[in-house]
Structure 1
Amino acid sequence: MPPTPILWIGARVWRAGALAGLAGLLLIGGCAVGPDYARPDAPDDQAYKVDGVTAGSISDDDDTPLDAQMFERAGAVRADWYRVFESERLDALIKRALTDSPTLAAGRARLKSAQEAVTAGKAALLPQVDASAGVSRQRASGIELGIDDPSFINTFNLYQGRVSASYDLDIFGKTRRQIEQTQARLDFARFEVLNTYVTLINNIVATAIAEAGLNAAIDTTQQIIDSQQRTLDIVAKQVEYGVAIDADASQIRTRLARTRASLEPLRKQRTIAVNRLAVLTGAPPGQFEDPQFHIDELTLPATLPVSVPSALVRQRPDILAAEAMVHAASAQIGIADASLLPNFSIGASYSREGLSLGDLSDPITALWQIGASASAPLFAGGRLRARKRAARDEYVATLADYRATALTAFGEVSNSLRSLESDARALHAQQTAAAQAQRNLDTVRARVRNGSASYISLYTAEEQYQDTLLDVTDARVTRYRDSAELFRALGGGWWNANDPLAMTDAAQAALSD
């Protein structure tokens, strides 16, 4: 039987009013409570001082000329900055590490997990639709209907089908702030992995430079041992012929033994450096071939870029990660604010029931409902307002953490710049000392040939010269290492790479297995 006109008109009016109310709620839902995030202001570009050239640029008339390193203010930091050392073996090692490093692979996988969390969170803004179906065997008695008749018992099959939909109107933006927070945490995860990426490359370069320096030190020490052994053989002959005394030979033997003893710690450090390279590249030390880096095979970069502070805070992964946490804390304030306000939602369902499967096609078995609901906190013992205050305090804390991270970054860049200037002066001083030792050695050799000096004097002069060569090697290694450290302090140039966190096919296959 069709509905009466009055019921029909009433239903139309009710639906029109509901639609108008829903449209009004959606318009109100265009704004979210809580602060809209704003990035911290960029610092003044005088946060650290940048000179144009390293100290130690030596004039042409200097007998120990030293190549200067130029600082290019606001220069671009290339993504493959490690290529400035012009070592194919180093380039191949870093390429291998970016492919096989388990630390980087773990970070990439966690980043994908964070991306899926954002996707899942955004689904809360869409209507949720569910469907269910079922069949059951039931036994019912009249008692349920108030019929006190033991014979009123029936056993039957019940078929059911149901579709339901619900939608949270998110009037005050709680869900949107939660999505914003999840996105900020995704940014944090991304910049943390990028920091791992930058640090991994720097660690490989620094370790390769360390091994190169150790190989040079081992070679120089071996030359000292050979020189001392030759001198000992000569002095031993002189003792045998009565030209020298045994005390002279004993002195040389003692120094030779000490020099040989210093060789083993250097070999140990080299082994540790090689094993570290193996681990960094994702290889077991027992299956890793020593690349045999040597300091003379590396090229010192003549020009070094220096990002201005306002650019540095938009480049360094650790600063950007700290900023992402500030963003997440800002969104948490909005979540806490929205928790104090009412929540509105609408829902509807449509179902059919029948005693046989065919009954589900009969419209008379249809059941439906539609409605709206609202809920609001009335009393929570101050819990919600305490959470709001805690969210604001956490925002202040994360903002302070961000500023501390930025200041630390400025300090590292400034330290790198000053270190490079100091390194140049130190290397020049060591080269000057080595040149003086070389001249003294040449003089003593001439005197020995003329018979005016003993082999003990020659031994002492050779030892002094070889020691200065070790000091020069250490100074060169320090200069190379600090050059690499500057690139890391500037952020590593990851923003100039196509996709620094792209997974390799092997990593993708491992995740899918």
Structure 2
Amino acid sequence: MNAKFSLSLLLTAALAACTTVGPNYQAPAANAPAAYRAAAPAAGAELQRDWWLMFNDAQLNALEAQALQASPTLAAAAARIERARAVFGATKADELPRLDVGGSVTNLRTSAKSVTTPVLGGQAIVFDGTQTGLQASLGWEIDLWGRVKREAEGAQAQLDASTLDAAAARVALTADVAAAYWQWRALADEGTALQRLRDSRANAFKVAQTRFDAGSSTTQDLERVRAELASADADVADLPRRQSLVLNQLAALTGQGSADLKLQASAQSPLTTPPAIRAGLPSELLQRRPDLAQSLAQLHAATAQVGIAEAAFYPSIRLTGSFGYQSKELGDLLSAPARLYNVGPSISLPIFEGGRNKANLAGAKAQVDESLAAFRGRMLQALREVDDALAELQGRAAVVEAQNQTLASASQALTVAKSRYDKGAVSYLDVTEAERTPLATERALAQLRGAQWAATAQLVKALGGGWATPGG
């Protein structure tokens, strides 16, 4: 028996190494352009994994650390990795033989009236007693066509996709936290400019009221200044609402309640021009962005499913065997006469299945086409996101430069107005009028700075947030 069993194992191992049906996975060409449409900075900072550290902002660092630790999004992504790892482990187990050991004690009596009861000398033979058994069983599917291998390959690709999904979630989370934080800081800067503008409008209204009471100005002049003050009051009153919305967003991103989130605006200097970040070449996006690598892993998994579907057209061979002992007396259980065994292959060949296998194969091939189209679409979207962020940064920089020129000219005009007021050439209302443009420009610059930093976060997210493939 041992020689026959060993020979069966050798033959099945040789058969299992014969072939693997289905196409082998090949990564598609990215077809990325040579350069981005928008002007990318020739030099700039390289994104590291923890890219936000380059800004040397203690509050931002604390928020990012809190988000990475407590975000439900990352927790869910980690759970998906563990689930995919478990599926991969179960699939890999199918490549190995399965061995089960069991024992039994059965108290039985056969019927004397059954048509299957043996008869000897006209008397029915009835079996009555206790039977004890000890048995080991072996089962192993001979992977003749590579179905089990393709299943393991697909499970590995799904595990890779889950890991990359978690990396993409980390990129998106850290960029969103930074964008919300910088928006909050921009609102604080805007609040300072708004309060100065409101104070200026209040002074202008006092002067206008005094002149109106003295009969030296019209009702129209007074109401115009009153309306400007009311508008400034409305903007100041609306600012806490806008700040609360951003803080609520930050709290959700960092996995905490809004009431638990404490930020100090007074400790921050106004936002300046954000540092340039090197965008690199479009062809580098495959190494930069985990969502693109995830899309390729999903394509790999879909390709493996084609091989699994093709294997269903071929015979399935399974080697089964058992060895053990069976006896009515416990003391004789392990004796040679009580020994029993069986070993041999079983073959299953699909003859008629109503077109199921053809439909499954067609569906698997369609899934490959869908996954390939999804990758190409995601690649185009990634290129667009980088171009959008670069265009936003470039456009905002031009507007900031124009507003700085406006502020410089308006500040000079204000200086002249104050000088003339000191000499008695104009009234104080003329000074407050001259303050209108520089103060409004300061508010616009605060909003533009916020937009620049938001575009920086958008660029970080579009470039993959410092993530890179292992060894890349």
Instruction: State if a TM-score over 0.5 links the two structures.
Output: yes
1:127 and 2:117 matched: no
Mean alpha-carbon deviation: is it higher for 472-481 or for 249-258? 249-258
Tell whether the 8 Å contact from 1:79 to 1:496 is kept in structure 2 after alignment. Answer: no
1:94 and 2:64 matched: yes
Distance 1:176 1:263, change over 3 A: same
Q: CA deviation at 1:355?
A: 2.0
> What whole-Å deviation, never above 9, does each CA across 1:266-320 have from its counterpart, x for those lacking one?
2111011111111111111122213438873556443412132222113212211
Tell whether the 8 Å contact from 1:434 to 1:472 is kept in structure 2 after alignment. Answer: no
> What whole-Å deviation, never above 9, does each CA across 1:20-70 have from its counterpart, x for those lacking one?
633531331xx31111101112434515247464xxxxxxxxxxxxxxxx5
Aligned to 1:197: 170
Tell whether the 8 Å contact from 2:59 to 2:263 is kept in structure 1 after alignment. Answer: no
Q: Which structure 2 segments of 5+ residues have no match?
A: none
1:146 and 2:118 matched: yes
Aligned to 1:352: 325
Tell whether the 8 Å contact from 1:208 to 1:293 is kept in structure 2 after alignment. Answer: no
Tell whether the 8 Å contact from 1:211 to 1:293 is kept in structure 2 after alignment. Answer: no
Which residues of 2 match residues 397-412 of structure 1 at below 5 A? 397-412=370-385
Q: CA deviation at 1:367?
A: 1.0
Distance 1:233 1:15 in 2: 106
Tell whether the 8 Å contact from 2:389 to 2:458 is kept in structure 1 after alignment. Answer: yes
Q: CA deviation at 1:478?
A: 1.3
Query: Which of 35, 43, 50 is the matching residue for 1:71?
Result: 43
Query: Which of 243, 254, 262 is the matching residue for 1:289?
Result: 262
Distance 2:152 2:469 in 1: 29
Which residues of 2 match residues 237-256 of structure 1 at below 5 A? 237-245=210-218, 247-256=220-229
1:229 and 2:202 matched: yes
Query: Which of 21, 29, 41 is the matching residue for 1:33?
Result: 21
SS in 1 for 2:326: strand
SS in 2 for 1:71: coil
Distance 2:307 2:285 in 1: 29
Distance 2:146 2:354 in 1: 24
Using the size of structure 2 for normalisation, the TM-score is 0.92
> What whole-Å deviation, never above 9, does each CA across 1:194-219 have from its counterpart, x for those lacking one?
11111110111000111111111111
Aligned to 1:63: none
Tell whether the 8 Å contact from 2:99 to 2:139 is kept in structure 1 after alignment. Answer: yes
**AA matched with 1:88:** A
SS in 1 for 2:43: strand
**AA matched with 2:23:** P
Query: Which of 174, 178, 182 is the matching residue for 1:209?
Result: 182
Q: CA deviation at 1:473?
A: 1.1
Aligned to 2:363: 390
Mean alpha-carbon deviation: is it higher for 233-242 or for 465-474? 233-242
Aligned to 1:21: 11
Distance 1:252 1:490, change over 3 A: same
Using the size of structure 1 for normalisation, the TM-score is 0.85
Mean alpha-carbon deviation: is it higher for 300-309 or for 109-118? 300-309
Tell whether the 8 Å contact from 1:336 to 1:384 is kept in structure 2 after alignment. Answer: yes
Distance 2:17 2:452 in 1: 63
Tell whether the 8 Å contact from 2:38 to 2:391 is kept in structure 1 after alignment. Answer: no
SS in 2 for 1:305: coil
Q: CA deviation at 1:128?
A: 0.3
**AA matched with 1:25:** L
> What whole-Å deviation, never above 9, does each CA across 1:395-416 have from its counterpart, x for those lacking one?
1121111111001101111222
1:80 and 2:50 matched: yes
Distance 2:71 2:4 in 1: 64
Tell whether the 8 Å contact from 2:40 to 2:279 is kept in structure 1 after alignment. Answer: no
Query: Which of 123, 145, 149 is the matching residue for 1:172?
Result: 145
Tell whether the 8 Å contact from 2:295 to 2:371 is kept in structure 1 after alignment. Answer: yes
Q: CA deviation at 1:108?
A: 0.8
Distance 2:260 2:246 in 1: 15
Tell whether the 8 Å contact from 1:169 to 1:345 is kept in structure 2 after alignment. Answer: yes
Distance 1:496 1:439, change over 3 A: farther
Query: Which of 305, 309, 312 is the matching residue for 2:285?
Result: 312
Tell whether the 8 Å contact from 1:416 to 1:486 is kept in structure 2 after alignment. Answer: yes
Distance 1:14 1:247, change over 3 A: closer
Distance 1:365 1:156, change over 3 A: same
Distance 1:32 1:369 in 2: 30
Aligned to 2:83: 113
SS in 2 for 1:41: coil
Distance 1:298 1:162, change over 3 A: farther
SS in 2 for 1:433: helix
Number of aligned residues: 468
Query: Which of 280, 283, 298 is the matching residue for 1:325?
Result: 298
Distance 1:153 1:394, change over 3 A: closer
Tell whether the 8 Å contact from 2:185 to 2:265 is kept in structure 1 after alignment. Answer: yes
SS in 2 for 1:82: helix
Q: CA deviation at 1:150?
A: 8.4
Distance 1:218 1:15 in 2: 84
Q: CA deviation at 1:381?
A: 2.2
Distance 1:97 1:16 in 2: 58
Cα RMSD for the two superposed structures = 2.5
Distance 1:406 1:33 in 2: 30
**AA matched with 2:165:** E
Query: Which of 396, 401, 405 is the matching residue for 1:423?
Result: 396
Distance 2:316 2:125 in 1: 47
SS in 1 for 2:185: helix
